Structure 1
Amino acid sequence: MNVLGLLMEHPVSSGCAAATLAVALATATRKPEPPAEVQAAAKAKEPWDSHVVSALSDLQEISPGCLWQVSAKGASAGPPMRNMTVYRPEGSGELVVFSAVALEAHLMEQVEALGRPAVLVVPNAYHREDAAVWKARYPDCKVCAPQGSTWVRERIAKVVAVDFDSRELSQRYGGAIAVEAIDGWNLNSEEVFEYYYTLKLADGTRAYYVCDMLLRTNPGFMSWVFGSGPLPGGFPRVGRLGKLFLHDRKRVAKFYVQLAQQNISIICYAHGDAFRGDCWPQVIRRAAEPRQGCV
């Protein structure tokens, strides 16, 4: 991942002087681009095989009959690893795919055996790399993404046309999916970088899906770069880069304390193994304390 490029392209808060300077420099030197629809059309014509990366696991069942995840190398075939999460609402043959990744043939067959890819969720402006080839492979699959932020909307539009705002998933699948923004993460209720999703599971509990707002990677160089090693007890944390984009840390910490009151048994995210365990409400309460360093 090009960390400098990430900083230059993200509409970070004005409190981060270095990132703000990077944005200014990028704006001054950036060449004019073709219209978004032209860029998206070109992306759609790219062959599937040109996007395929090596998977780091088979399709893993995270919750029986409704939630799966597969880990693969990054878009440039290197770190950091990234996850694709697949959710099938109870009683439905449709699949909701979060942060789609172009996979080898045998893994795509595993995905297709679960049901029909019906909705492709582009969770934020960065996890969009394979959205166009997925849409080309499954033309009837609808694409949704956060649409409140002009920057997020325009960046995703350069890769794939968006059919509806992700919040509409709540209506599409009734009580199976809830979509909301994390209080304190976004500048306001409209400028939303990323939503979080709670997914109803067959056992009556819920899974919590978030893309880049929480990380839990294994110790190593990339964990050091992103500040994404797990907290005591294995709970994920807001990474070092993510903290640059927070607008109100106290409100975010309060949000996670409130989240701990819900009947959530699984947390899935884009980077790192899913978190599972009955003890996580106590862990998250501790992690949300300002001195513990979650945010």
Structure 2
Amino acid sequence: MEPRRKGSPTEVFYYLNSIVKHRQKSVENWQSYVLPHSNIESLAPNLWHVTGTMPNPMLPPREMTIFKLADGDLLIHSAIALDSETMTTLESLGTPKIMVVPNRIHRLDATVYKQRYPKLLVVCPSAALPYVEEVVSVDGLAEEVLPNYGIVCHQPAGIRPQELVYELPLSPGKALVFTDILFNLTESYLQQYAPKGKLVLQWIGTGGFFGITELGKRFFMSDRQAYRQWLEELAANTSDLHVICVAHGSPIITNCNQKLYEAAARLL
């Protein structure tokens, strides 16, 4: 594991992005965490997503992925607090059982989810453990817990230790869930969910394509060639790939393997 250098540009970037807070933060009040968001939308059998805004409109919108496990309960990746009607819809899909806090940045609503669902199993990648535990108690490591539910945890090559990519079994096919190492902020997505921040996000290189952003290259990527090759191998070895979910941007539901090759080609 690459050592973390306190005060390095990467550490400062992680820190600044991990301290985003709600304007009216009250751990006793779920509603104070709710920001504008979409309805729950189906991506495939047993797979859904929600798009939510951020407290700062200059930040990119975020995505929550909801996956129904084989036992009928739900896994929630990168949790977003939803209004009461949408939470009722979520609970109609199944009982929230596992919450994946995917990295040290995506912790915004983890605390209130655990308070709402005390039996929720909180997991995160080992690299994120000390940072996630600053806001919520962690019950297990994603690498150790999720394979018990048929989920493959991929460790990205060429990326500083921070997050995993999750391969979910669909019926039929598979889905891949990314967090911050690939974005898909299309023009229409930004116009719908971040109209005030669209120009700024495009200017800093986070919009208009599927791939790692300019900021991601600067602060997340440690080896450009290794990451490119890893994406190509992931595309080649993930058969019957039906869906790609990202934490920022539109899910991809067509030509998924080709999209991964295209994201890799952007690194040539």
Report the TM-score, using the length of structure 2 for normalisation: 0.82
Residue 159 of structure 1 corresponds to which residue in structure 2? 135
Q: Distance in 2 between matches of 1:230 and 1:140?
A: 40
3-state DSSP of counterpart to 1:260: helix
Partner Cα separation in structure 2 for residue 226 and residue 127 of structure 1: 20
Q: Which whole-Å CA distance do the structure 1 matches of 2:49 and 2:111 have between them?
A: 20
- C-alpha change, 1:13 and 1:240, in structure 2 (3 Å) is farther
Q: Which amino acid in 1 is paired with 2:158?
A: G
Are 2:96 and 1:125 aligned?
Answer: no
Cross-structure match for 1:271: 248
Provide the C-alpha distance between the structure 1 equivalents of 2:84 and 2:42, rounded to a whole number of angstroms: 18
* Bigger RCO (CA 8 Å, 6+ sep): 2
Query: Do the aligned partners of residues 206 and 12 (structure 1) sit closer, same or farther apart at CA in structure 2, a change above 3 Å counting?
Result: farther
Alignment of 1:253 onto 2:246: no
List aligned pairs for 1:154-233, cutoff 5 A: 154-173=130-149, 175=150, 177-186=151-160, 192-203=161-172, 205-219=173-187, 220-231=198-209
CA contact under 8 A between 1:216 and 1:230: conserved in structure 2? yes
Question: 1-side partners of 2:153 and 2:39: how far apart?
Answer: 28
Which residues of structure 1 form unaligned runs of 5+? 1-10, 27-42, 187-191
Structure 2 Cα separation of the partners of residues 211 and 283 of structure 1? 16
**Is the CA contact 1:229–1:237 (under 8 Å) kept in the aligned structure 2?**
no
What is the alpha-carbon distance in structure 2 between the residues aligned to residue 257 and residue 270 of structure 1? 20
Residue 79 of structure 1 deviates from its aligned partner by 3.7
Residue-pair matches, total: 242
8 Å Cα contact 1:44/1:132 also seen in 2: no
Aligned equivalents of 1:285, 1:112: Cα separation in 2: 36
Question: Contact conserved, 2:58 with 2:201, CA < 8 A, in 1?
Answer: no
- How far has the Cα of 1:46 moved from its partner? 3.8
Q: Which moved more, 1:78-87 or 1:241-250?
A: 78-87
* 8 A Cα contact 1:184 1:251, kept in partner: yes
Which AA in structure 2 matches 1:183? A
2:79 to 73, 78, 100: 100
- 1:114-138 CA-to-partner distances (Å, cap 9, x unmatched) read 1110001000001001000000000
What are the Cα deviations for residues 67-110 of structure 1, in whole angstroms up to 9, with x where unaligned?
Answer: 00011111446642111110012x32210000001110011011
Of the candidates 44, 57, 77, which is equivalent to residue 63 of structure 1?
44
- Per the TM alignment, residue 240 of structure 1 is displaced from its structure 2 partner at its CA by 1.4
Describe the shift of the 1:23–1:209 C-alpha distance in structure 2 as closer, same or farther (beyond 3 A).
Answer: closer
Q: Percent identity?
A: 31
TM-align CA RMSD: 2.5
The structural deviation recorded for 1:50 is 1.2
Contact 1:73 1:80 in 2 (8 A): yes
* Paired AA for residue 80 in structure 1: P
Q: Distance in 2 between matches of 1:62 and 1:259?
A: 21
Q: For structure 2, list consecutive stretches of 5 or more residues without a partner in the other structure.
A: 16-24, 188-197
Partners of 1:75 and 1:129 within 8 A in 2: no
Instruction: Give per-residue Cα distances to partners, 1:239-289, cap 9 Å, x unaligned.
Output: 111111211110110011111121212110111110111x33334324323
1:50 to 17, 21, 32: 32
One-letter code aligned to 1:113: S
